[in-house]
Structure 1
Amino acid sequence: MPEFDTISVIIPTLNEEARIGATLASVLPQRPAEVLVVDSHSSDTTVAIAAAMIGVRVLQADKGRARQMNAGAAAARGDWLLFLHADTLLPPSALERISAQPEGILAGAFRHRFSGDDWRLRLISRLDNTRARLTRIAFGDQAIFVRRTLFERLGGFPPCDVMEDVAFGELLRKVTTPVLLREEAITDARKFEQMGVWTSLARVGVLLAFHRLRLPLVGRSFFKEIR
């Protein structure tokens, strides 16, 4: 039998009762892993749903994905840290694929796809996958994974209100070349659908541009809690 590295799956949550069950169900049937839900004082039943599932540990942290994911990483015990959004389904073979990565691979992510059949969202996912392949910087809904030793050496996610995934990806790219695995992480399309597909894409583009230019971020209304 091959010897596998251990994996800690860290899921930040805030009022995700409609989706956390499905997300956890995409993780728990896979090879044994430590699963940590890091909640930010949800006012709905998110914590109750997560706590009722065998194999899930629930923590509390201040609001903000970067803060929540860093808190989860500090409590985690795995050789690998996998950061999964609460509205994103993990590919069926994800944990096995991560654990089997050779020693030289230090970080990576999966290809992305939105839920549903909207051709515009499929196009955006294809463009996003091309961007990730060329830049080696993944968005958070691509289920970013990194070896614990490297995560700790980099100091975790920078303290950003938004774009913490891109900021961390820039740190990763300075010291390694993250891999992009072919399996797809599937993200709930509700935010793009409710805000409007093209409007949402434009806002993300503006956020990226402001981040790259090191200007104060705008467009945070896009990140209000859409449940």
Structure 2
Amino acid sequence: MAKLSIVIPTYNAAHTLGPTLAALAQIEAVGLIKEVIVTDGGSTDGTLAGARETGAVLVNSDRGRGPQLRTGASAATASWLLFLHADTVLDAGWSDAVKRFINRSDAPAKAGYFCYALQDHTTSARYLERIVRWRNRVLALPYGDQGLLISRILYDQLGGYRPLPLMEDVDFVRRLGRGRLRPLEATAVTSPDRYQREGYLTRSARNLFCLGLYYIGVPPRIIRQIYE
């Protein structure tokens, strides 16, 4: 069976990392996961201690999701890579979905992403999930909070994640292209904290505005100031 390196970038993620790691430790994943790599950008809370307790490989990195993903991928040793955010929990069927994908004859030339869900029972959350499904289907633009499963061969062929402070996921997915992207038959449940704190409409509008700025060529380092 092909082995999987799971790369998780963190920065002060102690309150969300535990459930993320716990979801990976299901019995069905035994024999699939070679290593879980937590790439930390200088956390000052309990992130590192929590990662150590689970046996994850800890790697230090410059802060920023792009640099951290790139550093984690460089440290990975398996033939398949799964990039996952520290506030995203995969549902119970994730490992079976990954195995089915990897066993496809065309899998080494494709990349997979999970269905998007928010850990929130409100109508606003369901509406946003529908928008994300539309974005995936029509624009072929899954974001990093949906995870990304990709063979090491294809990842290296495309040059990997660039060390961008923001929009590293959009940049990489655009290089992948629609023809290489496939949805996985499992769900990634993401924290709704930003949406609940700012409001769904405000946060969604900010995200869309930042995406538009990126598409017209505004540098990610400037967009990051607006995003955060």
- Contact in 2 for aligned 1:90/1:143 (Cα 8 Å): no
Alignment of 1:8 with 2:9, yes or no, is no
Find the residue that maps to 2:180 and give its secondary structure: coil
Structure 2 SS opposite 1:100: helix
Preserved CA contact (<8 Å) 1:136 1:177: no
Tell me the alpha carbon deviations over residues 14-64 of structure 1, each in whole angstroms, 9 at most, x when there is no partner: 00010111110011224131211111110001000110113x111111101
Residue 157 of structure 2 aligns to a residue whose secondary structure is helix
Aligned-residue Cα RMSD (Å) equals 1.6
TM-score (norm 1): 0.91
- Which amino acid counterpart does residue 188 of structure 1 have in structure 2? S
Question: Residue type matched to 2:97 in 1?
Answer: R
User: After superposition, what is the alpha-carbon deviation per residue over 1:82-107, rounded to whole angstroms, capped at 9, x for unaligned?
Assistant: 11000000122223322322131320
Task: Rate the CA distance shift 1:186–1:201 in 2: closer, same or farther, 3 A.
Answer: same
> Sequence identity of aligned pairs in percent?
31
Give the TM-score normalised by the residue count of structure 2. Answer: 0.90
Q: How does 1:134-173 map to 2 (within 5 A)?
A: 134-173=138-177
Which residue is 1:195 aligned to? 198
Q: Which amino acid aligns with 1:154?
A: L
Q: Which amino acid aligns with 1:199?
A: T
Structural mapping, 1:23-102, within 5 Å: 23-29=20-26, 30-32=28-30, 33=33, 34-54=35-55, 56-101=56-101, 102=104
Report SS of the residue matched to 2:48. Answer: helix
Q: Is the 8 A contact 2:213 2:223 kept in 1?
A: no
CA deviation digits over 1:120-163, x for unaligned, max 9? 12111111112112222210000111111010111111232111
Does the aligned pair in 1 maintain the 2:5–2:37 contact within 8 Å? yes
Count, aligned residues:
219
Unaligned runs of 5+ in 2: none
Q: Which has the higher helix share?
A: 2
* Amino acid in structure 2 at the alignment position of 1:45: G
8 Å CA contact 2:13–2:47 kept in 1: the answer is yes
SS in 2 for 1:116: coil
> Unaligned stretches of 5+ in structure 1?
none
Measure the CA separation in 2 of the matches of 1:82 and 1:113. 18
1:223 deviates by: 4.6
Contact in 1 for aligned 2:14/2:45 (Cα 8 Å): yes
